[in-house]
């Protein structure tokens, strides 16, 4: 049914405002296009421009007229200007879909309130109960709330929310609409109406609404019942035409909403809709709803109906639809029920709102039931999110969106090139920062792109920035890069030199622990003279002092040469190895007496200690043993902090590795709150225009960012990428981005975020400038970076991660290259499919299939599916686009 919609999209994109399409019986298309690109072309050539798309949509050419503007004027041909009216019932909706038509609600912007519809395919699922508790949540947050009973064939909302004591329902919405539908529109006739909305207007009559008090919170909810059920009600309902509701500018419903806005001035109107595929339920959803909550019990009986209603509503009117599953049994029974229905509804876990069974609701005779309120909080939060997104859209319409997008600045997040003044934009303090400050954390682990190097550079090059964030915990600590890619550590051996050192140590039976100790002494001697010179002045250290003085210059621009390599090896020789050991003890003692500590930081070890070299494990193991032995010998004032890629750490085997447990190592992890705080820093730090825009919704100062809750972070990022991935969808954009930047091993990559945002900005600018042409036009968007731009950014980030994975795991490169070039797998697959690819690409390097699978999991590439899944494995979302694999049907981007 959506193929015709795709054809309409094609016409809108290629011939905007210059075409008319109608689809008749038998899928015959009546098409008129007026465009000067047809100039000079004969009819077959003109048809060739549209016929392939037309036939791809399953349409047959009926009457197809293709004119230039001159030809159309000569023949007095004009395009019909028939506005698309929202369908009033399900039959009209299906016809619209078959014709590829959609309705865009433009009345919402003119209204001050939103209409939220609660719908269920079957009754008895807690629809009205959900509406009532949501109403109280919204009212208690300061909103003016009106609830309307439009379950006109079985009204009952007034039973849950009865009128004040001593009063009864005499009339309701049915009476109000009936009276205004059967009488001619006449301002004077209003005086004769028997009904009015609230009794506060100049026109007299019996009010159809009443207010109930929430005394504890001092709030009100206005209730509009369907009416008093009886003979009169049935007659009026029979006469009342649902098709005429909201069909014309001055019909009965328009008069109702006019009075509603003037007298009750609501922020939100909650509508309790009729169940099933009846006329009044269809009217509420298809013509009235700005947003909808579908309530269903997790059973097979509900699935087909809910799925149909959802698809039809989304395809015709494009509103946001949220699925409430109610009531859900607690425990394993409820989880099993949900796991069975989610695939059939083609929804993810976070796209449904489960309402757990609460026995207090079954026996309730008064609402709300306070013990049940928490279960409905998420519904109210989603409504508030939509209201917030509306405010963002309004702000963007008032601002120069294009100028703000141009001002966004996402330079490459290369830790080596980040200037001190830019660190606030690129560095986000996480829980790992506090753990790093612990003396006993010797190893910092993480995959490439998780922020290891940024942390290293913060402490090695930007110590003032580090001290500011440490809040006193760095007092008395001197930090020195023992090895790494910073200017102050350029005087030292690099890759090829380490290779020469490995050969010499092997030949002479030398030890890597002693080599690293000697290298540390050279670093302290050349960069921290005050720490070591007094000790070297002692007579017993004269030999070592003279050796260091003659071979290791202290000039800032000194170059490491062959002489220094030989001298470094000389420090591990029999004559000086003991002196080096004594010197380190004396330095530690001196620091202890001064009440100070020295940290030696090591990075770039994956670059300079050659990967997969036979000596790699010995070299890195020696450095790690130095950290361990120094601690064991009571040298607690010299600390070694070693930054290692996670895959290298996992492959290391060395003495005492078992002592490097959770208290000694730090695995970098990014919670969603850390990730979003970094995103906000990157965006607001690079653009003062964006910061001003975000502060309209929620002023968030620099000091507040690190403590801001997730909800506030969603709001300040809403102008950038929206609160939801797509306006009419339920999925949170922030959570979507976080999940797509996280691999199957739960590693999250802030570097990928920078790549995504940079590409998304470029794509969005290109798209907007193409649409603008030479004229500045409004895009009407509710976010700066739309879904297509974000998907382009995701593709770029995925490409980068695939390339990084090839470098990190070279043994997997043949497998990755084969998947990319040969499309050997889809995004999800069975074990046998993976085994076939392993046999073709990796059996020589991985003789055991089980170990091959384990390596894919460890690399964060492979997801093991649940036992009830159709497939055994899947590729992590982060890598799908980079590998170019096809997503299985129903899998979301």
Give residue-wise pLDDT tens across range 577-586. 999 999 999 9
Dihedrals φ, ψ of 818, to 5°?
A: -65, -40
**pLDDT average, residue stretch 861-868:** 86
pLDDT at 779: 47
**pLDDT average, residue stretch 811-823:** 92
Nearest-5° angle of CA 570, CA 576, CA 579?
Answer: 145
Q: In a 3-state reduction of DSSP, which class is residue 429?
A: coil
- Length of the chain as a residue count: 893
Distance, CA of 741 to CA of 756 (rounded, Å): 9
pLDDT at 109: 66
Give residue-wise pLDDT tens across range 285-310. 999 999 999 999 988 889 999 999 99
For residue 632, with 0-12 CB atoms within 10 Å meaning exposed, 13-18 middle and 19 or more buried, which class applies?
exposed
565 contacts 500 by C-beta, under 8 angstroms: yes
Neighbouring residues of 10: CB distance < 8 A, sequence distance ≥ 6 = 53
For residue 111, with 0-12 CB atoms within 10 Å meaning exposed, 13-18 middle and 19 or more buried, which class applies?
middle
436 contacts 429 by C-beta, under 8 angstroms: no
- Does the pLDDT of residue 775 top 80, yes or no? no
Give residue-wise pLDDT tens across range 348-390. 777 899 999 999 998 888 999 999 999 999 999 999 988 888 8
Give residue-wise pLDDT tens across range 688-742. 999 999 998 888 888 889 889 998 999 999 999 998 887 656 678 999 999 999 9
**Percent helix, percent strand, percent coil in the chain, to nearest 5:** 55, 15, 35
Percent of the chain with pLDDT strictly greater than 90: 65
230 pLDDT band, cuts 50/70/90, is very high
- Does the pLDDT of residue 771 top 80, yes or no? no
pLDDT at 203: 66
234 contacts 82 by C-beta, under 8 angstroms: no
Give residue-wise pLDDT tens across range 609-628. 998 899 999 999 999 999 99
pLDDT at 27: 85
For residue 368, with 0-12 CB atoms within 10 Å meaning exposed, 13-18 middle and 19 or more buried, which class applies?
buried
Q: Which residues of 371-387 are buried (b: 16+ CB within 10 A; e: fewer)?
A: ebbebbebbbbbbbbbb
Q: In a 3-state reduction of DSSP, which class is residue 749?
A: coil
- Using alpha carbons, select from 385, 408, 399, 410 the residue that is nearest to residue 696: 399
pLDDT at 774: 37
268 pLDDT band, cuts 50/70/90, is very high
pLDDT at 34: 94
Q: What is the DSSP letter of 263?
A: I
Give the bridge partners for 324, in sequence order: 295, 353
512 contacts 623 by C-beta, under 8 angstroms: yes
Mean pLDDT, rounded, of the chain: 90
Q: In a 3-state reduction of DSSP, which class is residue 709?
A: coil
- The two structure tokens encoding residue 167: 């009063």
pLDDT at 87: 87
The whole-model pTM stands at: 0.78
758 contacts 785 by C-beta, under 8 angstroms: no
Percent of the chain with pLDDT strictly greater than 70: 94
CA dist list (Å): 800 to 726, 790, 816, 883: 25, 15, 13, 11
Output 890 or 176, whichever has higher pLDDT: 176
Distance, CA of 83 to CA of 93 (rounded, Å): 15
- Does the pLDDT of residue 777 top 80, yes or no? no
Q: Which helix (H) or strand (E) holds 23?
A: strand 19-23
Give residue-wise pLDDT tens across range 653-703. 988 899 999 999 999 989 999 999 999 999 998 899 999 999 988 888 888
807 CB neighbour count, 10 Å cutoff: 12
412 contacts 453 by C-beta, under 8 angstroms: no
- Using alpha carbons, select from 42, 34, 46, 43 the residue that is nearest to residue 70: 34
36 pLDDT band, cuts 50/70/90, is very high
- Does the pLDDT of residue 250 top 80, yes or no? no
85 CB neighbour count, 10 Å cutoff: 14
Q: Do strands 114-120 and 268-273 pair parallel, antiparallel, or not at all (unpaired)?
A: parallel
pLDDT at 776: 40
Q: What is the DSSP letter of 260?
A: I
519 contacts 565 by C-beta, under 8 angstroms: no
752 pLDDT band, cuts 50/70/90, is very high
**pLDDT average, residue stretch 567-577:** 94
């Amino acid at each position: 049914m959506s193929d015709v919609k795709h054809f309409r999209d094609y016409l809108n994109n290629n011939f905007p405002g210059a075409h008319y399409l109608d689809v008749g019986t038998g899928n015959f298309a009546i098409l008129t296009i007026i465009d000067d690109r047809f100039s000079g072309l004969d009819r077959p050539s003109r048809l060739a421009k549209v016929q392939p798309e037309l036939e791809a949509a399953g349409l047959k050419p009926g009457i197809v007229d293709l004119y230039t503007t001159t030809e159309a004027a000569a023949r007095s041909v004009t395009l019909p200007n028939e506005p698309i009216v929202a369908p009033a019932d399900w039959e009209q909706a299906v016809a619209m879909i078959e014709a590829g038509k959609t309705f865009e609600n433009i009345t919402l912007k003119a209204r001050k309130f939103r209409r939220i519809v609660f719908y269920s395919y079957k009754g008895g699922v807690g629809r009205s109960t959900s509406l009532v508790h949501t109403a109280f949540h919204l009212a208690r947050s300061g909103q003016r709330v009106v609830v309307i009973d439009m379950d006109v064939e079985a009204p009952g909302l007034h039973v849950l929310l009865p009128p004040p004591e001593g009063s009864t329902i005499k009339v309701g919405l049915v009476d109000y609409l009936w009276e205004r539908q059967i009488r001619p529109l006449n301002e004077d006739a209003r005086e004769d109406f028997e009904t009015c909305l609230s009794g506060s207007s100049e026109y007299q009559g019996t009010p159809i609404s009443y207010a109930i008090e929430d005394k504890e919170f001092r709030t009100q909810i206005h209730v509009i019942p369907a009416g008093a059920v009886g003979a009169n009600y049935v007659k009026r309902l029979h006469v009342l035409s649902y098709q005429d509701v909201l069909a014309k500018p001055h019909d009965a419903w328009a008069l109702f909403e006019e009075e509603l806005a003037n007298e009750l001035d609501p922020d939100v109107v909650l509508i309790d809709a009729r169940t099933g595929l009846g006329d009044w339920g269809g009217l509420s959803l298809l013509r009235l709803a700005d947003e909808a909550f579908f309530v269903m019990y997790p059973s097979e009986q509900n699935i087909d109906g809910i799925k149909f209603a959802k698809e039809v509503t989304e395809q015709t009117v494009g509103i946001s639809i949220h699925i409430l599953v109610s009531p859900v049994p607690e425990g394993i029974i409820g989880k099993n029920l949900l796991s069975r229905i989610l695939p059939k509804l083609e929804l993810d876990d976070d796209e449904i709102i489960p309402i757990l069974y609460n026995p207090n609701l079954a026996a309730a005779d008064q609402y709300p039931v306070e013990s049940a309120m928490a279960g409905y909080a998420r519904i109210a939060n989603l409504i508030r999110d939509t209201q917030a997104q509306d405010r963002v859209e309004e702000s963007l319409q008032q601002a120069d969106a294009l100028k703000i997008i141009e001002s966004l600045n996402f330079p490459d997040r290369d830790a080596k090139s980040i200037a001190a003044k830019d660190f606030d934009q690129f560095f986000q303090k996480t829980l790992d920062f506090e753990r790093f400050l612990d003396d006993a954390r010797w190893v910092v682990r993480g995959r490439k792109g998780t922020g290891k190097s940024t942390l290293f550079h913060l402490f090695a090059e930007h110590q003032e920035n580090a001290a500011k964030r440490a809040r006193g915990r760095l007092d008395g600590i001197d930090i020195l890069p023992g090895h790494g890619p910073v200017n102050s550590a350029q005087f030292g051996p690099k890759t090829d030199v380490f290779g020469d050192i490995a050969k010499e140590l092997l030949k002479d039976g030398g030890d890597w622990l002693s080599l690293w100790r000697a290298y540390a002494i050279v670093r302290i001697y050349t960069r921290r003279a005050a720490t070591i010179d007094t000790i070297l002045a002692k007579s017993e250290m004269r030999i070592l002092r003279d050796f260091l003085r003659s071979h290791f210059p202290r000039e800032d621009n000194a170059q490491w040469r062959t002489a220094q390599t030989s001298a470094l090896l000389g420090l591990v020789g029999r004559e000086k190895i003991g002196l080096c050991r004594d010197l380190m003890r004396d330095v530690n003692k001196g620091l202890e007496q001064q009440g100070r500590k020295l940290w030696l930081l090591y990075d770039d070890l994956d670059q300079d200690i050659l990967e997969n070299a036979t000596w790699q494990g010995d070299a890195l193991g020696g450095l790690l043993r130095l950290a361990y032995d120094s601690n064991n010998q009571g040298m607690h004032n010299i600390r070694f902090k070693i930054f290692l890629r996670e895959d290298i750490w996992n492959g290391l085997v060395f003495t005492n590795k078992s002592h490097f447990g959770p208290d000694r190592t730090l695995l970098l992890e990014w919670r969603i709150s850390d990730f979003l705080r970094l995103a906000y820093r990157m965006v607001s730090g690079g653009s003062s225009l964006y910061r001003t825009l975000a502060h309209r919704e929620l002023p968030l100062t620099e000091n507040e960012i690190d403590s801001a809750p997730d909800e506030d972070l969603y709001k300040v990022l809403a102008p950038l990428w929206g609160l939801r991935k797509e306006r009419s969808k339920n999925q949170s954009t922030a959570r979507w981005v976080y999940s797509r930047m996280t691999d199957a091993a739960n590693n999250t990559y802030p570097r990928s975020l920078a790549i995504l945002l940079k590409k998304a900005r470029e794509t969005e600018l290109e798209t907007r400038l193409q649409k603008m042409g030479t004229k500045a036009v409004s895009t009407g968007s509710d976010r700066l970076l739309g879904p297509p731009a974000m998907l382009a950014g995701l593709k770029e980030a995925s490409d980068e991660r695939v390339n990084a994975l090839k470098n990190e795991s070279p043994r997997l490169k043949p497998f990755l290259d084969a998947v990319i070039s040969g499309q050997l797998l889809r995004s999800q697959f069975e074990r046998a499919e993976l085994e076939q690819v392993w046999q073709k690409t990796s059996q020589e390097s991985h003789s055991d299939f089980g170990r091959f699978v384990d390596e894919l999991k460890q690399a964060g590439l492979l997801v093991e599916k649940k036992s009830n899944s159709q497939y055994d494995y899947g590729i992590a979302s982060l890598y799908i686009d980079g590998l170019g694999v096809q997503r299985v049907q129903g899998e979301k981007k």
